Amino acid sequence: MHRHCVRPGSRVRLADVDPDDSGKHAHELAAKAKLAGDIERLAELQERLYAEHRYAVLIVLQGMDTAGKDGTIKHVMSGVNPSGCEVAPFKVPTEEEAAHDFLWRVHRHAPRRGHITIFNRSHYEDVLAPRVHRTFPKRVLRQRYDHINAFEHILAENDTLVLKFFLHISKNEQRRRLQERLRDPSKQWKFSPADLKERRLWDRYVDAYEKLLTRCSTEAAPWYVIPSNKKWYRNLSVAEILIDALDGLGCTYPPPALLPAQLKRIRL
């Protein structure tokens, strides 16, 4: 089991996970060089996944504001073929979405066979925000945890590889990144006054994340808590886990429609 994987049945305490951890990777330049090779490998594995058309892959990204969900997608998935990879962001439900059960809008975006779909935020917002803002009773939240586990189990039983990443940053690192947004004209558009309001609820968010990580890391759909204060380590860790998981699927290229002898006789 990977060192950042949440063992099913274990209790998560985020205070026990150092967001500055970089494992055995002490040097940023060496890590970035390895990431470049991993991106190439990931592109190769995605091509086999797409060609074989047997499995689907769902990647879930969650984290506090500024944790780096967009950055992870941009850097880790930079080598994959866009025709076989989609990103689905989940914001406040629309009127139509709110008129259905909370998983309706999510299931519509589940990946097709041969494809990778990345959830930038996800169905976990529907247990996270209600717990933080105390809009639903705990009884409803407990039911939702069970519904989420059942939903992900259905996906896994239908040949969808489900990988969930919580990008773990410290409160001080979030402050630094918010200040950077305010100073940089190219990033100011990302800043919202609501960010400050949500930041004041930091401890509630930590508690809510600990609950969902504990309740919803399963054999079928494990959670990984990725130390993310160092962006380069965050990217490398996610890439390594994706490569190991995709490699484990054993995808191969389908056989050609013609026999080798027939292929040799073709003249173009």
**pLDDT tens readout for residues 47-101:** 999 999 999 999 999 999 999 999 999 999 999 999 999 999 998 889 999 999 9
Contact call for residues 170 and 68 (beta carbons, < 8 A): no
Q: Which pLDDT belongs to residue 141?
A: 95
Which pLDDT belongs to residue 195? 85
Q: Where are the alpha helices (DSSP H) in the chain?
A: 28-52, 69-76, 95-98, 104-107, 125-133, 138-157, 171-183, 193-199, 202-215, 231-249, 260-264
Q: Which DSSP helix (H) or strand (E) runs through 59?
A: strand 56-63
What six digits make up the tokens of 172? 């001080």
Distance CA 191, CA 182 (A): 7
Its sign, for the CA torsion 32, 16, 181, 165, is positive
The three-point CA angle 143-156-75 to 5° equals 100
**Domain presence at residue 1:** no
Q: In the 3-class helix/strand/coil scheme, how is 188-217 assigned residue by residue? A: HHHCCHHHHHHHCCHHHHHHHHHHHHHHCC
Contact 89, 120 (CB under 8 A): yes
pLDDT at 23 (0 to 100): 87
What's the pLDDT score for residue 67? Answer: 97
| pLDDT at site 263 | 64
Distance CA 101, CA 94 (A): 12
**What integer pLDDT is reported at residue 137 of this predicted model?**
92
Which tokens belong to 198?
Answer: 């949500």
Whether residue 8 lies inside any domain: the answer is no
Amino acid at 31: A
Per-residue pLDDT at 192: 85
In angstroms, rounded to a whole number, what is the distance separating the alpha carbons of residues 6 and 263? 49
Whether residue 100 lies inside any domain: the answer is: yes
Per the domain annotation, does 171 fall within a domain?
Answer: yes
CA-to-CA separations, 55 to 28, 121, 182, in angstroms, rounded: 34, 22, 42
This prediction's pTM: 0.94
Does the residue 5 lie in any domain? Answer: no
Q: Which residue has the tokens 């609950």?
A: 211
State whether residue 118 is helix, strand or coil: strand
Residue 126 in any domain: the answer is yes
Whether 4 maps to a domain, the answer reads: no
What is the CATH classification number for the domain harbouring 253?
3.40.50.300
Domain that holds residue 80: 14-264
Q: Is residue 9 part of a domain?
A: no
Residues in the chain predicted with pLDDT less than 70, given as ranges, are: 258, 263
Domain count, the chain: 1
Residue indicated by tokens 């086999």: 48
